[in-house]
Structure 1
């Protein structure tokens, strides 16, 4: 890797870090903000469904722009739309709960555009030899922002007592999104690709023997867990503690543990260990959810959060790096990296939607804490399914790693 590429990688990590900071600063408490206006789990579930549909569509439709035109503008637009979303929330205040679908769609659009462009640029400036290293650094930045952002926002909301504190937090996030957009102008324009192939994600899945078949199934299992856990765990912590500062404290502690685990992963993790580490990670993620069988309170949720943060790199790094590596197994696949990135996201989206729809359907029958706990246990075991369907691809990539772009 040349010094110029290294500088671009560092700048991309800096942009990603600011984006993550702005997102966790406001996003950690977004669902709590909506919950305080209307205490309805299904409402938050549908809000997340709207996000995921918009994420999938923005990846698929935005793929043409990112491949054939200026992908940096797609990244900047994603950041700008994120800021616009929080402007709308500030303007609507308590009425935001009446606009769940359009708000979820706008947030999903911003997420989709940003991460599509970010992931493509990330793929282009890394290779199989250093991808685990940079994934470790992204995890490290995610942990650092997870330490600072929620603690600061929780303190501000508690200090300013409620709605005023939320408004200060949302405005602060807007400023950080602006800083990330400005910093992104230091990123060099990437070469454009060929014509965008609209149906390539489906064609790849139809191809006999394609490694993307098990990869897509593994991503769906990952999404089943993520779809519900992305909003439910933070909300359960708030409901158990009844204090925003406690949720900030929870995020600080779990992110600090994650910081250590991702640092260790970035320093010592090797591609040849992917198969074993993913098995261990998926089993541990499932095992720590079992702590909720004892009792659902702040302490048991913290135990689960710490355990999850400790072992999440064991599961996530093989998932991330393996799917990225599949985009570079040949010059042909590297040329279709945008379409394959879309396939990756549509697989995740399908899993997230499945998990969310199961969640909403079960809670339409019962919203008791026992029902929610059992549902979390079932959905929390989905990572084991990822390992089962991906294990042969993990083993294959160990032997082929030197030939991957």
Structure 2
């Protein structure tokens, strides 16, 4: 029965055009790698410095340089094939984190510098991926692709964080290996997976070509202003979650093994739900999923504010992971539809709108990092955690008003 089900799923996947299949497979590799590299990079920073601020400083560097990467990418593709920029960037956006292990001590300046390098390569990667995805795919395919990408990411998120977390815990009992050896092993495996992804990218026969004539949209419609508001408010919350979840777990709940168990226990259920929804969902259903993600997060934050403890922290982390998966599942099709609609079918215009979108998404992220740094500078750890997660949840709720109008327009 399982074999028949897998055959049916593969037949659906093979209905995608060959180049789209290869592009999706490269995304699989990137997500699998990120389930190791970025989850445990945050954990490594926190364990090495015992400071949530170190994670915020690292991410601040990343988000600042992503924008520069987008602009430099637009300049470079005037002289270079998109493939020659996208493929190296797909490795460097995760692999450059290995620089962290070259420092004997991790100062905030060292951490910020590595964040700048990761951010620049991530800018190259996401500039091209965000352009290629709407150019290479059709709107009717995107909910399915988003669903299967989420499923693969969560299945890998079940196995890999669990194994990696307990590898780190076990390594502390081995004097000849040590925790740093475990972190290096995890990083190395993640880079190998990224390299496999480049093989799929290199085999795409018809890579989209692009000549950028302008960096910013020539016109900003009311629809696009709604999209900006939605992006800015929602990504501030997502950035908060991406920064504090690992630190909360290691501070108040347990070690890396516990972190791996929590991530793993939630990932497969969420992934399967989203994948099944993605096969049948219509564009008009996107707001319902966004609202579900927001309500689950608000309830969890309210419980945490009323009674701060291990149980309510676990409930919050659960809601954050569920909310994050639902948000990004819906967000990618919304972003792709908004970009191609505003660009009116012109590829150069599409890139300008992608860049404008990236400016607001990273403005939200940078704002969140500054909020986190201020909160943990002036408040103690517990009050700082409560402040930033409450602010993030409120911002996501505010973004829903814009999302409702935007999705209603896109559905017509």
TM-score in terms of structure 1 length:
0.89
Counterpart in 1 of 2:223?
211
Matches within 5 A, 1:1-400: 6-66=17-77, 69-82=80-93, 84-95=95-106, 97-161=108-172, 162-198=179-215, 200-201=216-217, 203-204=218-219, 207=220, 209-312=221-324, 314-329=326-341, 332-335=344-347, 336-399=349-412
Find the aligned partners of 2:303 and 2:17 in 1 and give their Cα distance: 42
Given that residues 89 and 121 in structure 2 are in contact (C-alpha distance below 8 angstroms), is that contact kept between their aligned partners in structure 1?
yes
Please give the root-mean-square deviation of Cα atoms over the aligned residues, in Å.
2.5
Given that residues 81 and 109 in structure 1 are in contact (C-alpha distance below 8 angstroms), is that contact kept between their aligned partners in structure 2?
no
Q: CA deviation at 1:221?
A: 0.6
1:364-396 CA distances to partner (integer Å, 9 max, x unpaired)?
211230332132112122221221123222111
1:95-119 CA distances to partner (integer Å, 9 max, x unpaired)?
4655022100111122222222222
Find the aligned partners of 1:178 and 1:2 in 2 and give their Cα distance: 23
Given that residues 135 and 208 in structure 2 are in contact (C-alpha distance below 8 angstroms), is that contact kept between their aligned partners in structure 1?
no
Instruction: Name the CA shift for 1:291/1:351 in 2 (closer, same or farther; >3 Å).
Output: same
Given that residues 68 and 194 in structure 1 are in contact (C-alpha distance below 8 angstroms), is that contact kept between their aligned partners in structure 2?
no
> Structure 2: which 5+ residue stretches go unaligned?
1-11, 173-178
Given that residues 23 and 204 in structure 2 are in contact (C-alpha distance below 8 angstroms), is that contact kept between their aligned partners in structure 1?
yes
> Structure 1: which 5+ residue stretches go unaligned?
400-405
Which range moves more in the overlay, 126-135 or 327-336? 327-336
1:155-205 CA distances to partner (integer Å, 9 max, x unpaired)?
22122222221122122222222222233211224242344312x24x44x
Find the aligned partners of 1:236 and 1:179 in 2 and give their Cα distance: 33
Find the aligned partners of 1:287 and 1:66 in 2 and give their Cα distance: 46
Find the aligned partners of 1:66 and 1:286 in 2 and give their Cα distance: 43
Find the aligned partners of 1:263 and 1:75 in 2 and give their Cα distance: 27
Find the aligned partners of 1:68 and 1:196 in 2 and give their Cα distance: 13
Q: CA deviation at 1:24?
A: 1.7
Given that residues 298 and 393 in structure 2 are in contact (C-alpha distance below 8 angstroms), is that contact kept between their aligned partners in structure 1?
yes
Find the aligned partners of 1:398 and 1:287 in 2 and give their Cα distance: 29
Find the aligned partners of 1:195 and 1:309 in 2 and give their Cα distance: 36
Task: Please state whether the residue corresponding to 2:140 is helix, strand or coil.
Answer: coil
Instruction: Name the CA shift for 1:306/1:362 in 2 (closer, same or farther; >3 Å).
Output: closer
1:268-303 CA distances to partner (integer Å, 9 max, x unpaired)?
221122233333332222222223225444433332
Task: Please state whether the residue corresponding to 1:143 is helix, strand or coil.
Answer: helix
TM-score in terms of structure 2 length:
0.87
Find the aligned partners of 2:249 and 2:50 in 1 and give their Cα distance: 14
1:328-354 CA distances to partner (integer Å, 9 max, x unpaired)?
227635422222111111111011111
Task: Please state whether the residue corresponding to 2:103 is helix, strand or coil.
Answer: helix
Given that residues 64 and 196 in structure 1 are in contact (C-alpha distance below 8 angstroms), is that contact kept between their aligned partners in structure 2?
no
Q: CA deviation at 1:130?
A: 1.9
Given that residues 261 and 313 in structure 1 are in contact (C-alpha distance below 8 angstroms), is that contact kept between their aligned partners in structure 2?
no
Find the aligned partners of 1:102 and 1:67 in 2 and give their Cα distance: 28
**Number of matched pairs:** 394
